Structure 1
């Protein structure tokens, strides 16, 4: 009996040692894996941004996640300045930095991002524009969120800053009321589509991109939104962390702040591709959420653009004719006064008259916006006054005074 007990203890001890050894090997293998293969690929399209690249590298080397766990892929869109030379020098200096060079300028970020995706090795992808920056905890926050939720897509929010780094908006109003959540897809895809202005502040899975052949449309603006929707249509779940993970810099030199007729023609075509994307996925009805107020927003952009004459607007409007027809069929133009006013002219293809009418609406729109702002301010005053009256009536002194006044 004693011999059996001794053998039992001996075998148990050997099993303990074996488990401990296996755990040690596993832990060491995990560390070696992380050292040999990057965990997150950071994709950065570049064009004429040589002076900005050191700031980008500083924000990446400062990541609490560990710079050595990142793969940084610069993809230059045939810059005429020193951008190509600078990213080559960074690639030579850092083993986890790659410099890709497109043979000809494509005009937008789609082609550079596609080239970088094909060259990426990490299991996860993040996108960073050359005129933006990541806060130090961005990668760690998103990666921890992914491990915790096991979601196919993890999202934080952008903080909007000026060219000097001053905070213009801590969080977009669309996100201010959102709490951390997990969205199950495709059942709750409609909820996720409302978060359409945050392509950058997300962590994507490389295998979902590769297995579904996802890509950015090339040569057109809006390619980031097309990619985001393509990805969402392939996901099982998405998590929102309600944490700041991206600094979006408002740069007056960027293409989105100097919009031309070519920009709006390309953007109209891209949204048409997005509509087709939802149709092919068997979700045509959900495009109405994507299209919500998009037409009105971009008509205002054409009206306000310093780069566009009436003739330029007349050239751009035909690219949006299909969306006028879509909104009319959906019965949603009532909430879009500019689009509603232009719809008959667009339907008759009176492009010059429609462009002239749009320009004439500029002072009226300014007056309406001022009126709306004043109305909102008065609503706030009225709410504050009502609250003061309610608090006063609920106070003990009011009840006592009111009792005596009745007597």
Structure 2
């Protein structure tokens, strides 16, 4: 082990052919102040101007040291391991060259480590989608307050935090337990590394502070691994990483973490890919389906049963069908929130997926309250301004009828922020359709105007279905007919385009582009997609 400098923190920055963004990452580490004693930049054999940037940064601040690999590793694991070996600080933080540390991040992590005597501290990561700045907290439910644990297994849901970069590590703990990243071109190396960390049972703390900004460039020429879901190799790499995670927890005799990791796969990983499966080509679908079924068959039955109902049902359909089928229904079942499209057959008193033998049973449906049901609420957009919604609320195996839906409210939720607009509704009453197992209503929305201080915005359309008893059912609206662009006057921006469109999961959304700036945003996005 290298001699430790002091109790300050070392930041390991990995880089490959990222000359334009490296300085921002390194400066964000240096700007943490004197609490950062060193910044180890590991250049994974870059062929662009990165070596010159590294040299300039090292010359400008003595805390910067550069390690250059002779050959490119093809992944992120080997350079991080090199940085860990080269570091001399007592505590370590990892940083990618295209991301940044927000001000005060390291200080917040260190303070929590000292308060709890923690060997690992995790904080909130924020995904910042570019080129438009949209900040989305990553797994926010895990970071609602500060808590210390003697062992991550005390909170099994910790396995949902698979990132390595939102944490402060006691370097001696990593070295003493021989915890390293997978070498080579392994993808999803974070999954394996964090599993090794959790399995080693560190004293662990969680803080709600924003400690890492993950830049997501969806329209870039070389998207990150997590955005390459259109490649079958991406899915196979994810399955392989998940198998390793389960094996690590098994060998460490950590049954709670093993079960939680498998349940997380059913609830998150599987559904994440299912949403896009209908748009994939046939040569992708079958191998994806085969690999998913094989992986599901190896999971513990108790772990699958522990998943929430919609995820469990999707897994049951895959297990029962050797070929891709019902993809549109599965994609909407995998949406957030889930929607279960008809038909709604019942076999021997049990709701089932369809009439094709074997019929996967929808276990647990009877245990859901009316407000928890994955109900379909569909809306056709009417009128030249699009401010009239023709809404249909569909029953679900007869469960909703007993709750007596009465009326609906409509709200817009800003895709680029936290704003929620409750809209004034005229005549939101619902009327039962005889023999159709549905309720309809024509809703005039008095202020269906997505204009705001910004010239461009994207809104999701949600409804609250009020029931005779209990809380309302809250869900996204499914897009029906009447989609398209409408031109309307706008007091702030002159003219505006308002486009009603269906998302990948068939939810109704509204794009607003006002004035010259908004229209340029729309045209620029189209141009970037074509170039991509």
TM-score (norm 2): 0.56
1:158 and 2:129 are equivalent in the alignment: no
How far the C-alpha of 1:322 sits from its partner, in A, is: 4.6
**Partner of residue 245, structure 1:** 211
Query: 1:77 matched to which residue of 2?
Result: 44
Partner of 2:167: 202
Contact 2:119 2:170 in 1 (8 A): yes
Tell me the equivalent position of 1:254. 224
The answer to which structure, 1 or 2, has the higher relative contact order (CA under 8 A, 6+ apart) is: 1
In structure 1, distance between residues paired with 2:236 and 2:466: 43
Q: Where does structure 2 lack aligned partners over 5 or more consecutive residues? A: 340-373, 378-392, 394-410, 412-461, 473-532
Moved more, 261-270 or 357-366: 357-366
Q: 2:28 aligns with which of 53, 59, 63?
A: 59
Deviation at 1:212, TM superposition (A): 0.9
* 1:344 CA drift (Å): 2.6
How far apart are 1:200 and its partner, in Å? Answer: 1.9
In the alignment, which of 162, 185, 190 is matched to residue 156 of structure 2?
190
CA contact (8 A) 1:258 1:305 kept: no
User: Aligned-pair distance for 1:319?
Assistant: 4.5
Higher helix share: 1
Question: Which structure 2 residues correspond to residues 4-15 of structure 1 after superposition, within 5 A?
Answer: none
Q: 1:358 to 1:70 in 2, by over 3 A?
A: farther
Q: CA deviation at 1:114?
A: 1.3
Q: Could you tell me which of 283, 293, 297 is aligned with 2:268?
A: 297
8 A Cα contact 1:151 1:238, kept in partner: yes
Q: Alignment partner for residue 84 of structure 2, among 97, 111, 117?
A: 117
CA contact (8 A) 2:278 2:327 kept: no
CA contact (8 A) 2:23 2:57 kept: no
Aligned residues: 343
CA distance in 2, matches of 1:76, 1:307: 38
Aligned to 1:265: 236
CA distance in 1, matches of 2:336, 2:263: 23
CA apart distance, 1:126: 0.6
The answer to whether the Cα contact below 8 Å between 1:159 and 1:167 also exists between their aligned partners in 2 is no
- CA gap of 1:188–1:373, structure 2 versus 1, over 3 A, is farther
Partner secondary structure for residue 169 of structure 1: strand
Deviation at 1:306, TM superposition (A): 11
In terms of fraction of residues, the more strand-rich structure is 2
Matches within 5 A, 1:291-370: 291-295=262-266, 297-303=268-274, 304=276, 309-327=281-299, 329-330=301-302, 331-332=304-305, 335-336=310-311, 337-345=313-321, 350=322, 353-354=323-324, 358=327, 361-362=330-331, 369=338
Matched, 1:49 2:18: yes
Distance in 1, Cα, partners of 2:82 & 2:37: 18
Distance in structure 2 (CA, Å) of the matches to 1:169 and 1:300: 19
Partner of 1:279: 250
Counting only pairs closer than 5 Å after superposition, residues 367-382 of structure 1 correspond to structure 2 as: 369=338, 378-379=463-464
Q: CA deviation at 1:125?
A: 0.8
RMSD: 3.6
Q: Distance in 1 between matches of 2:333 and 2:254?
A: 37
Give, in angstroms, the shift of residue 53 of structure 1.
Answer: 1.2
Asked whether the equivalents of residues 302 and 313 of structure 1 are also in contact (C-alpha less than 8 Å), the reply is no
CA distance in 1, matches of 2:337, 2:110: 44
